[in-house]
Copies of this chain bind each other. A is one copy, B any other.
Amino acid sequence: MSDAGGHAKPGRLVLVPNTLDLGNDSVPISDVLPLGVLRRAANLQHWAAENARSTRAFLKRVHAVVPLARPLQEIQINELPRARKGSGQAISAAEWQALLAPALSGHDLGLLSEAGLPAVADPGAELVAQAHAAGLQVQTLAGPSSLLMALAASGLNGQQFAFVGYLPQEATARAQRIRELETVSRRHVQTQICIETPYRNAAVYQALLDTLQAGTRLSVSQGLTLAGATSHTGAVSQLRKSPGRVDDSAPAVFCWLAN
Q: Write the residues of chain A forming the contact surface with B, with a CB cutoff of 8 angstroms.
A: 15, 20, 27-28, 30-37, 117-122, 124-132, 137-140, 142-145, 147-165, 190, 217, 221, 224-225, 229, 231, 233-234
Instruction: Work out how many copies of this chain go into the complex.
Output: 2
Once the chains are docked, how many angstroms separate the CA of A233 from the CA of B140? Answer: 14
Once the chains are docked, how many angstroms separate the CA of A120 from the CA of B20? Answer: 19
Given contacts A34-B30, A148-B148, whether A138 and B153 have CB atoms under 8 Å apart is yes
Once the chains are docked, how many angstroms separate the CA of A147 from the CA of B161? Answer: 12
Contact B15 A132, beta carbon cutoff 8 Å: no
Please give, as numbers and ranges, the residues of chain B lying within 8 Å of A159 by CB-CB distance. 121, 125, 163, 165
Please give, as numbers and ranges, the residues of chain B lying within 8 Å of A162 by CB-CB distance. 160-163, 190
> How many Å from the CB of A43 to the closest CB on chain B?
14
Contact A152 B118, beta carbon cutoff 8 Å: yes
Contact A138 B231, beta carbon cutoff 8 Å: yes
Once the chains are docked, how many angstroms separate the CA of A34 from the CA of B142? Answer: 9
Please give, as numbers and ranges, the residues of chain B lying within 8 Å of A132 by CB-CB distance. 155, 231, 233-234
Partner of A119, one of B142, B144, B158, B163: B158
Contact B148 A120, beta carbon cutoff 8 Å: yes
Given contacts A225-B142, A229-B139, whether A28 and B32 have CB atoms under 8 Å apart is no
Can you name the residue of chain B whose Cβ is closest to the Cβ of A131? B155
Could you list 7 A-B pairs, sorted by A, with CB under 8 Å?
A20-B142, A120-B151, A125-B154, A129-B155, A138-B233, A142-B149, A161-B163
> How many Å from the CB of A239 to the closest CB on chain B?
11
Contact B163 A125, beta carbon cutoff 8 Å: no
Can you name the residue of chain B whose Cβ is closest to the Cβ of A162? B162
Please give, as numbers and ranges, the residues of chain B lying within 8 Å of A234 by CB-CB distance. 132
Q: A30-B36, A31-B36, A160-B162 are in contact. List 11 more A-B contacts (CB 8 A).
A: A30-B35, A31-B35, A32-B34, A119-B152, A130-B155, A137-B231, A142-B225, A143-B144, A148-B148, A159-B163, A162-B162
Contact A160 B158, beta carbon cutoff 8 Å: no
Contact A31 B37, beta carbon cutoff 8 Å: yes
